[in-house]
Chain A
């Protein structure tokens, strides 16, 4: 793996409590799966950094290797990969997502 890309990802997920690797931006998602996760995070009032992988082919490939996960979007909370669209949706529905966000000190709207 490209060591610089790897380092940038490590830095990003270390510096920001919640990072979403996605297609498009939080305001203009360019894929339905990315849009679904943005919607969940917005609904929970969670502040997050969106990283548009379409704007950076290095990150687009690198994040898949970094997390050993083949698809976008990917959600990181406090440096740890939590899941892609299906998992986030499932966790949101069961309330687990809200729980792990709060456990890790990320404010969630009640």
Chain B
């Protein structure tokens, strides 16, 4: 099952309103994405916690209709 990039971006921004999100459709098949997410909410969090916050924003879709989303997260540089 596929999910479009705009939908992924919208969900992430709903969960993390200040997030800068860059999404790449790796194979052009609407099923394998890479997302780079930068948010101030990530400050002081471990990578695991940062990814968990993104997964939470995706509200259960990760691992279901969203099969492959390679994640890279970080806090903005000051």
Which A residues are closer than 8 A to B by beta carbons? 33, 64, 68-71, 81-87, 90-91
Contact = CB atoms under 8 A, between A and B. Distances in A.
Interface residues of B, number: 13
A35 B72 CA distance: 20
Interface of B: 47-48, 51-52, 55, 60, 62-64, 68, 70-72
A90 B55 contact: no
Contacts of A91: 47
B63 A64 contact: yes
B55 A70 contact: yes
Contacts of B63: 64, 70-71
15 contacts: A69-B48, A69-B52, A70-B62, A70-B64, A71-B62, A71-B63, A81-B48, A83-B51, A84-B51, A86-B70, A86-B71, A86-B72, A87-B47, A90-B47, A90-B72
Which 7 A/B pairs are nearest by Cβ-Cβ distance? Answer: A70-B63, A70-B62, A71-B63, A87-B47, A86-B71, A86-B70, A70-B55
